[in-house]
Structure 1
Amino acid sequence: MTDLPYRPCAGIMLIDRTGRVFVGQRMDSTLEAWQMPQGGIDPGEEPLTAAMRELGEETGIAPDKVELIEAADGDFVYDLPPELVGKVWKGRWRGQTQRWFLFRFLGEDTDIDIATAHQEFRAWRWIEPDDLPRLIVPFKRALYEAVLAAFRPRLDAERAR
């Protein structure tokens, strides 16, 4: 497992006007697990470009319905549990290294359409940021806690607006 590389990925924390965070329930999981939009960075693609592409692919949200608030410093890394290595992503990766971006949603809920061409979510909702770690699959919990910590000052400032 340690000889496999990490998959480069972009993650999006999307907040609404009240500071709640968008989460989707994955189609490919039977668990009651929710996650923020995220996805692979294509070769030669900039992380922010990948984040915008993934947001559109997973939520149907158009680029003019969001604004970038902040990019987190550095990369966030997680390993797949041993039982999933070799079974997901065609066995090519041992986990992900992620770049995270905080966006403000400028649209209305009707601008969200998860029934995209390559649908990844079966449901979506807005949640309080502090609920993220308990809703994610356990092997990503530490990563979500780190992402929350990275964006905490801006999340708190957004709440105070």
Structure 2
Amino acid sequence: MTINQTAQGFPTVENGLPYRPCVGIMVLNDQGKVWVGKRDDGQGASHYEYSWQMPQGGIDAKEDPQKAALRELYEETSIRSATVIAETDGWLTYDYPAEILANSRRKKYGGQAQKWYAVRFEGKESEIDVLSPPDGHKPEFCEWAWTAADKLPSLIVPFKRDVYQRVVAAFSHLTA
């Protein structure tokens, strides 16, 4: 797919809708395993077919992407004990499937452009709390686990798999 560029150099999808500027975070423990969370379906559980993913979220207006990554990580997992150790070159993009675009995105964005960061988790696992996130944030995950990086693409929804494959490849030197 050819990606058109706006005046700011930020990619847009072919249908002219902008990508939502986002960050993604690969959290690594000291054994090179990757943190994944199981998406909460709003009922404190998950019945999605592909329910596991790494933390990700939007970049606020005028927010530095790296700061957004650490903020999103904290809001979704309660993790503060983490240090950025790598980042992807440029933006990785995916388009929303037609059913998601029609039903939940109000045709504001055609997909996401993500800057990905690898962070080393340096705390104790008791710091991780997905059920009661800080500062009144709604839980996005109902459980979490450590997994091998090569398993990540098979856990994520199909329309995000290419991005996950690229993230795994970009950070392969950091994983076990």
Q: State TM-score, norm by structure 1.
A: 0.90
Instruction: Confirm or deny that 1:123 pairs with 2:143.
Output: yes
In the TM superposition, residue 30 of structure 1 has moved relative to its aligned partner by 2.9
Instruction: Confirm or deny that 1:30 pairs with 2:30.
Output: no
- Distance in 1, Cα, partners of 2:106 & 2:76: 20
- 1:20-67: per-residue Cα shift (whole Å, max 9, x none)? 1000111136314200000000110010010011000000112xx111
**Alignment-derived partner of residue 23 in structure 2:** 10
**Alignment-derived partner of residue 45 in structure 1:** 63
Q: Which runs of 4+ in 1 moved over 3 A?
A: none
Q: Is the 8 A contact 1:86 1:92 kept in 2?
A: no
Q: State TM-score, norm by structure 2.
A: 0.83
Counterparts of 1:10-159 in structure 2, within 5 Å, are 10-28=23-41, 30-32=47-49, 33-62=51-80, 65-114=81-130, 115-116=132-133, 117-155=137-175, 159=176
In the TM superposition, residue 14 of structure 1 has moved relative to its aligned partner by 0.2
- Distance in 2, Cα, partners of 1:107 & 1:96: 30
Q: Bigger CA drift: 88-97 or 115-124?
A: 88-97
In the TM superposition, residue 88 of structure 1 has moved relative to its aligned partner by 2.5
- Distance in 2, Cα, partners of 1:17 & 1:106: 8
Q: Which runs of 5+ in 2 are unaligned?
A: 1-13
Q: Which amino acid aligns with 1:118?
A: K
Q: Is the 8 A contact 2:32 2:174 kept in 1?
A: no
Aligned length: 154
Bigger share in helix: 1
Q: Which runs of 5+ in 1 are unaligned?
A: none
- Distance in 1, Cα, partners of 2:68 & 2:78: 14
In the TM superposition, residue 98 of structure 1 has moved relative to its aligned partner by 0.1
- Distance in 2, Cα, partners of 1:26 & 1:97: 20
If you compute each CA radius of gyration, which structure gives the higher value, 1 or 2? Answer: 2
In the TM superposition, residue 16 of structure 1 has moved relative to its aligned partner by 0.6
In the TM superposition, residue 100 of structure 1 has moved relative to its aligned partner by 0.3
- Distance in 2, Cα, partners of 1:122 & 1:154: 27
- Distance in 2, Cα, partners of 1:128 & 1:17: 12
Between the aligned residues of both structures, percent identity stands at 47
Q: Is the 8 A contact 2:79 2:128 kept in 1?
A: yes
- Distance in 2, Cα, partners of 1:52 & 1:134: 25
In the TM superposition, residue 118 of structure 1 has moved relative to its aligned partner by 1.7
- Distance in 2, Cα, partners of 1:43 & 1:86: 25
- Distance in 2, Cα, partners of 1:149 & 1:69: 15
